[in-house]
Amino acid sequence: MSGRAGRWRSGEESRRRILAAARARFVQEGYEQTTVRSIAADAGVDPSMINYFFGGKDKLFAAVLAAPGSPREPLAALLAAGTDGAGPVLVRRFLEVWDATDDPDPLLAVVRSAGRPDLLREFIDREFADQLVGHLEGPDAELRAALISGQLLGLAVARYSVAFDSVASATHDALVAHLGPLVQALLDGPPEGRRVLHKGAAG
């Protein structure tokens, strides 16, 4: 038993070293320039251990985002008083997180500039949609949370990845004015009594 416990502790220590090394590399070099071999070398492990623990660079990046110290804004704080009027607040907070110029955690800038919509989606799902669904009522709560995630993903791609001029240069107030009501409608759900058709429902 003591040998097994020792191997477990050794494995956990290797996993922690990989996460710490990956976090430092992603911050210094960005996602694209960081290699699995460089992370492994920094962590003092064989590159195969990264695939063993995490399954590849993309999944390791996702694990780094979820690690303690990553930028997280629990929606419970934003929705403590309920979802009434929370749509504009959510959009504004999203923009503030991404546009912060003195962000204490530069990993956000790595996600923002990685040019990878899938990484943006991973971040938005974890930081917003996954926490949001528990605050929504109704059988379509998961669908509405996913649609809100889609709105935020579209905003992130248009402002930071593709960088459409009009969207990239728009003020927070302008973007909140346009997107806040859309997100609010998804938070509220369809008006009572409105028939909602789902895929596979009878026409």
Give the contacts of 189 (CB within 8 A, at least 6 positions apart): 136, 137, 138, 140, 144
Q: Are residues 41 and 85 in the same domain?
A: no
Give the contacts of 91 (CB within 8 A, at least 6 positions apart): 152, 155, 175, 176, 179, 180, 183
Q: Are residues 61 and 82 in the same domain?
A: no
For 17-58, the pLDDT digits (tens) are 999 999 999 988 888 889 999 999 999 999 999 999 999 898
Q: What is the pLDDT of residue 102?
A: 57
Residue 196 lies in a domain: no
State the CATH number of the domain containing residue 93: 1.10.357.10
Q: What is the pLDDT of residue 202?
A: 44
Q: Are residues 54 and 91 in the same domain?
A: no
Residue type present at position 14: S
Residue 197 lies in a domain: no
Please tell me the total count of domains within the chain. 2
Q: What is the mean pLDDT of residues 61-66?
A: 82
Q: Are residues 51 and 80 in the same domain?
A: no
pTM: 0.67
Q: Are residues 95 and 21 in the same domain?
A: no
Angle (nearest 5°) at CA 51 between 48 and 56: 130
Q: Which domain, by its residues, includes 158? A: 75-188
Q: Are residues 29 and 129 in the same domain?
A: no
Contact 122, 153 (CB under 8 A): no
For 75-90, the pLDDT digits (tens) are 667 777 788 899 999 8
For 89-145, the pLDDT digits (tens) are 989 988 887 787 555 567 777 777 666 777 777 777 777 777 788 888 888 999 999
Contact 35, 58 (CB under 8 A): no
End of a domain among 66, 85, 113? Answer: 66
Report d(CA 124, CA 121) in Å as an integer. 5
Q: Are residues 159 and 184 in the same domain?
A: yes
Contact 89, 179 (CB under 8 A): no
Residue 144, exposed/middle/buried by CB under 10 A (0-12, 13-18, 19+)?
A: buried
Residue with tokens 């985002």: 65
Q: Are residues 182 and 94 in the same domain?
A: yes
End of a domain among 66, 94, 113? Answer: 66
Q: Are residues 11 and 60 in the same domain?
A: yes
For 181-190, the pLDDT digits (tens) are 999 999 999 8
